[in-house]
Amino acid sequence: MTPCIKKGGRILCRGYTLETAKLAVIEHDTKAAGYYIAGVYREKASGARAERPELLRMICDLQREESERS
């Protein structure tokens, strides 16, 4: 029997312009495509800044998951 592997993803939102309604559509479409959402990360700072705390948090979460699998 083949194990069921569920597809997952993460959503990184950048900027002040992403409204809650738009995020809800993205989440709905992601789930409708058969994915589960492992995390939503919202950056409110400008992309021009070098500091991207939510991006770094997402990368850390992904690295932690990778180390748990190995």
User: Is the pLDDT assigned to residue 59 strictly greater than 90?
Assistant: yes
* Interval 7-23 mean pLDDT: 79
Contact between 39 and 61 (Cβ < 8 Å): yes
User: Is the pLDDT assigned to residue 21 strictly greater than 70?
Assistant: yes
CATH class of 8-69: alpha beta
User: Is the pLDDT assigned to residue 58 strictly greater than 90?
Assistant: yes
Q: What's the whole-model pTM score?
A: 0.71
* Interval 41-69 mean pLDDT: 83
- Domain boundaries of the chain, sorted by first residue: 8-69
